[in-house]
Structure 1
Amino acid sequence: MAKRYNLERMPPSLLSTPTAAKAAEELRGLIGRLKRRLREQSNVGDFTPSQIAVLVRLEKNGPATASGLARAEAMRPQSMGKIIAALEAEGMIRGEPDSTDGRQTILDLTETSRAWIVEGRAARQDWLSRRIEHYLSPDEQARLLTALALIRKVVDD
């Protein structure tokens, strides 16, 4: 669960400077636009954002139960059941009985979904690489790498 902060109760020393606040606002906006543009570059077909989130979670974290996926995605098990049924019908995930608990089903990606994920990722990477090469000079590309290192410093703990 994401932490929620009451800014009115925060000590003044924890509030952002105007420069930091402006940078945060610009960065959030740009990241949102970049995510939308990247989504446009891959063929998501008729998948919903929730279905894509489940596929990506299974790809990153490995096989899981429906209840584990529901908890991870912060949704009701009934809602997750509908997502799983749709993905199974499309041949994107498959379920097999848990070897340690026959009441549970372990869900995993199919080879079709793994190929779909790899192709989508490659399309997004290719699009972004071509944009960087086309719109930025070699010097600007180097400065972009420096800026990315700074962003990584902010994001990583």
Structure 2
Amino acid sequence: MPPARQPSASSTAPGLAQDLRAFSGKLRRRLRAQADAGDLTPSQTAALLRLESDGPATTSALARAEGMRPQSMGAVVSALAAGGLVTGTPDPADGRQTLLSLTDACREWLSLGRAARQDWLSRIIEDQLSPQEQAQLAAAMPLLRRLTRE
């Protein structure tokens, strides 16, 4: 009688977690490479995405949302403003504060980057996966989404 097959590392929760983490890191790097991210730091990128999703905010509100000191976020915002990515207007509720928002050029740049990443991933899926494999990937998506629900 042949020896019992050991389950692969991927068939256990810790093994799946390791595989998913490694995969998501590789996918994130490949997606990042598909669109020009310029020389933005992770903090600058996070601030831009926060402004895009939540709308205008003060430097201190951004700092709180990102878990940073206001002085550190001030440096991030200064670099973004110098790059023409954010602009500030007086806060109508408190004229001493400045509300930061994305410039039109930044919105366009973000949109073009997303389109480039979407096009690349669509091409890879189409080129590398058979129609049956694409169906398997589609069937797995609800499970993957469940993992990210909070």
Q: TM-score, normalised by structure 2?
A: 0.90
**Aligned twin of 2:98:** 105
CA offsets 1:43-94 (integer angstroms, 9 cap, x no match): 0112112111111111111111100101111111111111111111111000
For residue 144 of structure 2, what is the amino acid of its counterpart? I
Residue 96 of structure 1: SS of its match in structure 2? strand
Once the two structures are TM-superposed, the CA of residue 137 in structure 1 deviates from its matched residue by 0.3
**Aligned twin of 1:151:** 144
Pick from 65, 80, 91 the counterpart of residue 58 of structure 2: 65
CA offsets 1:94-146 (integer angstroms, 9 cap, x no match): 00001011111110000000000000000000000100000000110010011
**Aligned twin of 1:92:** 85
CA distance in 1, matches of 2:98, 2:27: 36
**Aligned twin of 1:53:** 46
CA distance in 2, matches of 1:29, 1:58: 29
For residue 58 of structure 2, what is the amino acid of its counterpart? T
Once the two structures are TM-superposed, the CA of residue 154 in structure 1 deviates from its matched residue by 2.3
Q: Give me the CA root mean square deviation.
A: 1.1
CA distance in 1, matches of 2:101, 2:84: 11
Structure 1's unaligned 5+ residue stretches are 1-17
Structure 2's unaligned 5+ residue stretches are 1-10
CA distance in 1, matches of 2:147, 2:72: 35
For residue 67 of structure 1, what is the amino acid of its counterpart? S
CA distance in 2, matches of 1:21, 1:62: 38
Once the two structures are TM-superposed, the CA of residue 36 in structure 1 deviates from its matched residue by 0.7
**Aligned twin of 1:80:** 73
For residue 139 of structure 1, what is the amino acid of its counterpart? Q
CA distance in 2, matches of 1:67, 1:83: 12
Runs (4+) off by over 2 Å: none
For residue 95 of structure 2, what is the amino acid of its counterpart? G
**Aligned twin of 2:22:** 29
Residue 75 of structure 1: SS of its match in structure 2? coil
Residue 133 of structure 1: SS of its match in structure 2? helix
Q: TM-score, normalised by structure 1?
A: 0.86
